Structure 1
């Protein structure tokens, strides 16, 4: 079915109590707006996103994240001073330079300029006659969950669901199987507030409906805003069929507060963990494991309690032990942790990385680093052993430098490798060494001050105080 999609993302999100735009708050490592855009692009090649509050910041995020879809996304700027509210978001968006709350001027869109719409049949010059309206703060939405709306043949189809506690939602009035009105809670009397059928905030309707009824919206309500929901009442009075479509509330939970953000993330985590376990991943105490949306598992993987795996990490045939953090890295045929920290840009293969080991931007192949080490900006080849307390000194205060370590290198405990450094294969580095020069194959590297034991030095230092006290 050919359909245009509008995503409303213009709100201030004041209840989030945050300087970050509401729709850019992250859920499992991804801005919640991204989830709506991704599902919209699965449905349509004509996606319109309406911005206002902190618009420049949101536009930059969309441009950076969805550059490969630029031909299919058009950004619009709500004329908030003239047309506030959800209905106002779809109204005339020209001559809007007097708005000051958008966080900066928008310089253009991914496709054309804001307000540069020439067709008269709708404000946005949408490509298709059918329009799906979504919200940018519904990250659990999916293409599959939207199918009942898209299959409706009615001129207007509205998503609804029932909640035991409908506080905060618009109530839907249904008579003889048709919706006659939606009443926002701030405008509702007590009898209306008792209704448990609520507006899910998603619509599928003919583009001609928008063109006809948007100009008829008024702002005579408690918020002094143009409600998109008023369009429903206007169309009902004209006997236009408005079909209620029962939806799963789980997929259409909106996010307006930090507590709702946390609740929705918990639901997203349940989905991600179940997907991984369905692929055969073993999880110990799965409710304690944090995964981000782009994490990928392959083969036989085991994840212990308290693990966090972030970014575009790829875990292949590996065991990640308790309370380990992995960020934007590839782990293959390895044991990591417990209590290890694998920072971004690591590729670790056939290695054992133990407790309190931190690795950053490094390639390790067949390496053992059992405990208490920092390995940054390095390459270490198979058979090499990293002792406790070993660190690569990769930063000189201005620039990061690399350490290259060959095969079968034994690095003794408490060694400092001052980069840039090249260590050939089959090298032995003694404990306590501070290494500043390259080593060739077969070398023993030793850098220590000679130990001296001064006879009776203890008693000389303490002047026999201990002996007197005893």
Structure 2
């Protein structure tokens, strides 16, 4: 028997999100809110269960794709609605059972450990609300919970209490197994509420303790506005941690950083930069208004206004303004401005002229462009892939390269210029006539 099992409640319909997407799959900082909760859960236990209902198969697939060892249960919502109804027929295999909500992405594992370290039969997360209106009030004495009173049932004196139910519980598992059968849907909504467990436990003479937690950490997400507030909080945490670790940020409030991104060495992010996906940035500068997606950037500078799409490896390289790369491996090159480099490999010493394009797509398939070392690519060049350029090559400006170019060659692929004397005057004189 393990010491702690974690059960995540994620069966709700999330109607206030006004979306067909399950609420717990809405993302903040690159991961779904349920994924954030799962990450915290696995920090304290290897025994994690998720209870689902709405769009069961979709959410189950999302969970197991990232956390394949998670136990998945489906709530019988028609017959047993509510937070306690979700626990119907769950198998508990631990000394303690921690119950958390799947829509609390800011939750901290330290708070969860505090709940689990309580010696009470039932430990309830409680926060001091800045504005307690609407919350169930937790009435305590010397840390012992006396009762939970809903807003509509509270006396005027009880309404002055600022201690609110944060919604997470840690039960002695044997106690939980005794309490659950006693919870009945004796309320207007005809639902089985886990909050009733406190009164039942008190009637049984059991110890119910309040564990005070941070209100912000236990913020629940019920609509898209709350999602935006939570994401901003998470962004601030990510950026504070990174700046304290040595990342330089200019106007950090304008910068977006995915929670999966990693920074190594001395890095700088200028204003309006977005770092999206599982990026690794090492000893590099990302200049104003650039976007980097799921790529490796090492010993390089990008931007301003560069776009690095997924699967790029950029090492020792200067990427200038309005340059876009996708699935590109480049090492010690320069691409100063206004170019698209997709599905390509470019070796050291190469200079990419303004307006260069790798034509990687024929409408059906993607093809690769390989450019060797010390290649000088003139402006307005198109490489029609698949094509391979050797080392020490010059590509004349305005060329459309459709065949391989050997080492040391000059490649010119453009039509001969023809000048027609006096054509301007003849053309416009005939129009005026």
Q: Among 394, 409, 420, which residue is 1:443 paired with?
A: 409
Change (3 A) 1:222 1:164: farther
Partner in structure 2 of residue 91 of structure 1: 88
After TM superposition, the structure 1 = structure 2 runs for residues 59-70 of structure 1, keeping only pairs within 5 Å, are 59-67=60-68, 70=69
Task: State the secondary structure of the residue aligned to 1:361.
Answer: strand
Partner in structure 2 of residue 420 of structure 1: 386
Gaps (5+ residues) in structure 1? 93-123
Partner in structure 2 of residue 116 of structure 1: none
Partner in structure 2 of residue 77 of structure 1: 74
Separation in structure 2 between the aligned mates of residue 178 and residue 13 of structure 1, nearest angstrom: 33
Partner in structure 2 of residue 139 of structure 1: 105
After TM superposition, the structure 1 = structure 2 runs for residues 365-444 of structure 1, keeping only pairs within 5 Å, are 365-444=331-410
Partner in structure 2 of residue 294 of structure 1: 260
The question of whether the paired residues in 2 share the 8 Å contact of 1:361 and 1:378 is answered with yes
The question of whether the paired residues in 1 share the 8 Å contact of 2:44 and 2:113 is answered with no
Taking structure 1 as the reference length, the TM-score comes to 0.89
**Superposition deviation, residue 8 in structure 1:** 0.6
After TM superposition, the structure 1 = structure 2 runs for residues 4-153 of structure 1, keeping only pairs within 5 Å, are 4-67=5-68, 70=69, 73-92=70-89, 124-153=90-119
Separation in structure 2 between the aligned mates of residue 80 and residue 131 of structure 1, nearest angstrom: 22
Task: State the secondary structure of the residue aligned to 1:305.
Answer: coil
**Superposition deviation, residue 188 in structure 1:** 5.4
The question of whether the paired residues in 1 share the 8 Å contact of 2:101 and 2:167 is answered with yes
The question of whether the paired residues in 2 share the 8 Å contact of 1:316 and 1:331 is answered with yes
Deviation readout 1:143-184 (Å, 9 max, x if unpaired): 212232122111111110111222443221224542132234
User: How many residue pairs were aligned?
Assistant: 432
Partner in structure 1 of residue 292 of structure 2: 326
The question of whether the paired residues in 2 share the 8 Å contact of 1:187 and 1:221 is answered with no
Deviation readout 1:4-42 (Å, 9 max, x if unpaired): 111111111111111111111101000111111111111
Separation in structure 1 between the aligned mates of residue 56 and residue 127 of structure 2, nearest angstrom: 31
The question of whether the paired residues in 2 share the 8 Å contact of 1:181 and 1:230 is answered with no
Change (3 A) 1:187 1:34: farther
Tell which deviates more after alignment, 162-171 or 286-295. 162-171
Tell which deviates more after alignment, 191-200 or 232-241. 191-200
**Backbone CA RMSD of aligned residues:** 1.7
Please state if 1:455 is matched with 2:421. yes
**Superposition deviation, residue 385 in structure 1:** 0.8
Task: State the secondary structure of the residue aligned to 2:176.
Answer: helix
Partner in structure 2 of residue 118 of structure 1: none
Separation in structure 2 between the aligned mates of residue 169 and residue 335 of structure 1, nearest angstrom: 50
Partner in structure 1 of residue 136 of structure 2: 170
Deviation readout 1:313-350 (Å, 9 max, x if unpaired): 00000000011100100000000011000000000001
Gaps (5+ residues) in structure 2? none
Task: State the secondary structure of the residue aligned to 1:251.
Answer: coil
Change (3 A) 1:185 1:415: farther
**Superposition deviation, residue 88 in structure 1:** 0.5
Task: State the secondary structure of the residue aligned to 1:252.
Answer: coil
User: Which protein is richer in strand relative to its size?
Assistant: 2
Tell which deviates more after alignment, 44-53 or 320-329. 44-53
